[in-house]
Amino acid sequence: METTHRLVFLVIIAIFFITYLANAQDQQGFISIDCGMPHNESSYTEESTGINYSSDANFIRTGKRARIKNEDPEYGMEYIKPYKRLRYFPVGTRNCYNLTVSEGRHYIIRAVFIYGNYDGLEQRPKFDLHLGPNFWITINLQDEFRTLNRIWLEDGMVEEIIHMPKSNNLDICLVKTGTTTPFISALELRPLRDDAYTTKTGSLKVFFRWYFSSTDSIFGTETIVRYPDDVHDRIWAAEFDDAWTEINVTTPVNSTNAFELPQAIFSKASIPTDAGESWRRGWPMQNQDDIQLYLHFAEIQALTPNDTREFSILWDEKTIISDNYNPPEFMADTVPIRTSTKCDEVCYLELVRADSSTLPPSINAMEVFEVLQLPQSETDENDVIAFKNIQATYRLQKTSWQGDPCVPIYYMWTGLNCSINTFPSIPPRIISIDFSHYGLIGTISSDIQYLNQLEKLDLSNNNLTGRVPEFLAKMKLLTVINLSGNNLSGSIPQSLLNMQKNGLTLLVQGNPNLCVDPSCESEAGDGNNKMKLLLPIVASAASVGVITAVLLLIILFFRKKRQSKAIRPSMVANKRRFTYEEVTKLTNNFERTLGQGGFGLVYHGNLNGNEQVAVKVLSQSSPQGYKEFKAEVDLLLRVHHINLVSLVGYCDEGQHLVLIYEYMSNGNLKQHLSGECSSSPLSWENRLRIAAETAQGLEYLHIGCKPPMIHRDIKSMNILLDNHFQAKLGDFGLSRSFPVGSETHVSTNVAGSPGYLDPEYYRTNWLTEKSDVFSFGVVLLEIITSQPVIDQTREKSHIGKWVGFKLTNGDIKNIVDPSMNGDYDSSSLWKALELAMSCVSPSSSGRPNMSQVANELQECLLSENSRKGGRRDVDSKSSLEQNTSFGPEHIPDAR
C-alpha cells in the first residue's frame, strides 16, 4: 500500500511538472539578441513568440543604436519588438559579433535586417555578411527581388544558415563594401539535434522552408509557423497552388524523428486536385551547384484495408530519388535529397502516383538549402587565446581588431602578420607582432611565449619595465627581437645572447638601466650582499611588531571564542595571493591539464613540492570574467565548510586571474555518473553519501552564512570528490548574497547552466534559495538514473520531464541506473526519488528548503546503511553543527 501511495504521489508531481516545465525548458541553448536594445535595459519576453531577448552588450563593442521609422509594413511578417530596433556601424570596415557556442554542435544561425528608413535617408544599404573568416551572403536591400522564395519582408531580409562551429567561439561579421552603412536588427541562434541536418561537407544556407496549406493570405502573418509551435524556432511559410487540394486532420502525428517538426506542419498536407495527375512544384534556382532538400511526409488519413498511397519522388524531371514510396501512417518521415545537378533555370520536384496506388501522392512540407562551402579555417585557437591575453594585459583596444585576426587577409589585424597556407583547411598562424609605439606599460607579457610560430617581435619605443624574460630564448623561430626604446632593467639572459650567434637580431639600445655585459650580474650580487647585512637588523625590529600582533590576535581569538564556541579563527590568513610567475612555477609552466570548465582550463600544481593543488586559469574566451572571479575569491576567503572546496590562494595580476584550490583527486561527480572514470560504478550508498554531503554544503550557504548565499550553478560537474570520495561543492563565481529581512528574492539577470536552471527564475529573473533547490533536484535525478540532463534522443529531452514521463507510464524499473544491479534499499531509493521530484517542482513554493533536503537524505543514508548492517556511522546532524569556520565579520545567525 505504501508503494502505491508513493507511485500516485510521484505521478501527480510528474504530470504537473511536465505540463509546467515544457515551455520553460524549450529555449535551452537559444541565443536571442535584440541588437538595438539599450545595454542597461533588462531582457524581455517577446509576446507573440514567448522568446526571451537580451541586448548585445556582451557580444560587440562598436556601432550605434537606432529605431526604424516605418513600423507598420503593408505586407510581410509583423515587426515584432526586436525587429523594430537595430544597430548600425558608421565606423570601420568589419564589425563583428563574438558569440560563445558549443563546438561541434549544429545551430540555426538567423540574422534579421529591417531597414525601416531608420536614418531618414530612404537609401537601402548593401553590404556583406561573414561567418567567421568566410563569406556568407551579400545583404542587398536595394534588390527588389531579394526575397524571392524566402520569407517576404517589405523592407528587409531574413538570412539563415545551419552551421556547425569548429570552436567554442563564433564571429558573425558585417562588412562594408560600398558607400552605405551596414546594420542588423536581430541575431538568433538555435541548437539542433546532430542527427538531423547532416552534410558530408559545408553548411546549409536556407533557400526556403514551406509547409503546404491553403491559408487565404499568402503574405499574412497567420501563415508563419515558428516558436513555440516549432521547438527549434524554424520559420515556416505557408505555400499552396491552384492545382492542389488540402487535406487536414486533428489526430496527432508522431513527430519524434530527428527533425522534430511541429504538429501545425503535419496536421495539413497537399494532394493534386486531379487524382490522376502527379504533384509538382517548381522554383527558380539558377547556377546552384550543390542543393540539399528535406521532404517531410506523414500519412494523415485513416486508410481502409483497400487503400494504398504509393508514389515515386522525382528530382528535376529526370532523377528518381525514391520508387514506390509509402508515407507512414500518422508518423513523421523525412526523405533527404542531395544533388549537384544544376537546374535548367527552374528546379522541379515531382511526386508521381504509382500504378498500384488507389490514392494520389501527398506531401506535408519541404525545405530547400544551398550547400555553402566555408573552406577557410580560423586562425589557430592557441594563437588567438595567447594574443587576446597579450591584448588584455596591455589594455589594447583597436576598432579594427574584430573577427578573426588573420583571415580574410585583407582584414588582418594591424600589428600582426600571419602565415596563410595554400590549403585553407590549415589554420593560419601568427608569425609577427609589431607593437612599436603602442604605449605599452608594464613587463613583457609571458603570453608571448605561447605564440610558438613567432618569427619577429617588435616591442620598441614603449614604456616596458622589468627584466628581459628568459623564455624568449626558448622561442627557436624568432629571428628579430626589437626591445629598444623602453625602460627595461637588469641583464640580458646569456641564453638569449647566445642566440645571436645563430642569426638572431637582438635590438636593445635606448634602455638606460639594461646591461648587456655579463659583469652586471656580479655587481648586482655585491649589492645583494649589502642587503644581507641589513636583513638581521630589519628582522629584529620586525619581530617586536610580530610578537605584539600575535598577542593581540590571541586576545581577540579567546574573546571571540567565548562569544560562540562553534566559531574557529578566520582562515583568511591561510589564503595566499600568488604572483603569476609563482603560478607558472607551481604548475611547471602549465604542463598538466586536469579539465576545463566555464571559467577556463584547470591545471595540476604542486605547492612547496608536496601539496597538490588544482589551478583554475581564466580564459579570455570565457563568458565569466573579473566579476565572477572576485565573487568566488570574496566568498571562499570568508567562509569554510567541510563540504565546500577550499581556496588555497589566488592570483590577480593584470589580466591573469587564477584560483588555486585544494586538489580533488577523484574528479567530479559527473565523470563518475557518465562512465568517464575507469573506476567501478558508484554504489547506492556512496551516491547517497555524496548527495547528503553536497546538500549539507549547500544548506550552510543558505542558512549558515550571513548574509546567506545562493550558489546559482549547482550541477554534477561542480561537485568534486577527494581521495576518500568526500563531496565538496565548488565553482562559486555566480554566487549571490541573499537579502535578510522582508525581501523574498533578488532581482538579477539569469545565470546558470542549461538543464539545471530553475524555470521560475528563468521566467521572472527573481532569484531565491529555492532556485538552488531546483538545480540540486536535477543533480539528485542524475545520481539516481545516471542519465544525462539533456538528451535529445529520449522521449523527453530533459531528465525531469523524462522521469515524469516514465512515472506516468508506470515505468519505474527503467528509471534507476542499471549499473547498481538492484543493490539498494528500495525504501531509501523511493524516498530519494520523491525528494528529487519535489525539488524540481515547477513552482518554488512546492519545493523543500535545503535543511529539509539534507535531513531527508541523511535518513535515506541511515536506511541504506542499516540494510548493510550498519557498516558506516552516519552523522544525521545538520551541517551547521559540523566543522565550520568563517571570517569574524560574517558570523552566522543562530538558527
Annotated binding site for ATP: 616
- How far apart, in Å, are the Cα atoms of 617 and each of 380, 576, 722, 741, 750? 20, 16, 21, 37, 24
Residues 696, 854: contact at Cβ < 8 Å? yes
Distance CA 327, CA 249 (A): 15
User: Residue 293 corresponds to which cell in the numbers above?
Assistant: 532538400
- Residue 361: which of 241, 280, 271, 242 has the closest Cα? 271
Three-state DSSP class for residue 888: coil
Distance CA 806, CA 63 (A): 50
User: Residue 110 corresponds to which cell in the numbers above?
Assistant: 538567423
Q: What's the start-to-end Cα distance of the chain, in Å?
A: 37
Q: Is 713 noted as a catalytic residue in this protein?
A: yes
Distance CA 89, CA 381 (A): 27
Cα-based torsion angle of the residue sequence 46, 50, 55, 56 in order, rounded to the nearest 10 degrees: -120
Distance CA 493, CA 792 (A): 57
Distance CA 33, CA 183 (A): 14
User: Residue 405 corresponds to which cell in the numbers above?
Assistant: 585576426
Residues 133, 408: contact at Cβ < 8 Å? yes
Residues 420, 411: contact at Cβ < 8 Å? no
Helices 826-839 and 684-699: angle between axes, nearest 10 degrees: 40
Residues 255, 297: contact at Cβ < 8 Å? no
Amino acid at 448: I
Residues 503, 481: contact at Cβ < 8 Å? no
Distance CA 667, CA 722 (A): 7
User: Residue 153 corresponds to which cell in the numbers above?
Assistant: 519582408
The DSSP secondary-structure symbol of 856 reads H
Annotated binding site: 616
Amino acid at 612: Q
User: Residue 302 corresponds to which cell in the numbers above?
Assistant: 485513416
Distance CA 811, CA 820 (A): 17
Radius of gyration in angstroms for the set of CA atoms belonging to the chain, rounded to a whole number: 32
CA 879 from centroid of its chain's CA atoms: 33
Distance CA 238, CA 259 (A): 18
User: Residue 16 corresponds to which cell in the numbers above?
Assistant: 504537473
Catalytic-role residue among 458, 713, 731, 825: 713
Three-state DSSP class for residue 23: helix
Three-state DSSP class for residue 430: strand
Other Cβ atoms closer than 10 A to 850? 25
Distance CA 735, CA 720 (A): 17
- Residue 246: which of 290, 214, 285 has the closest Cα? 214
Phi, psi of 743 (to 5 degrees): -70, 145
Q: Which residues are catalytic?
A: 713
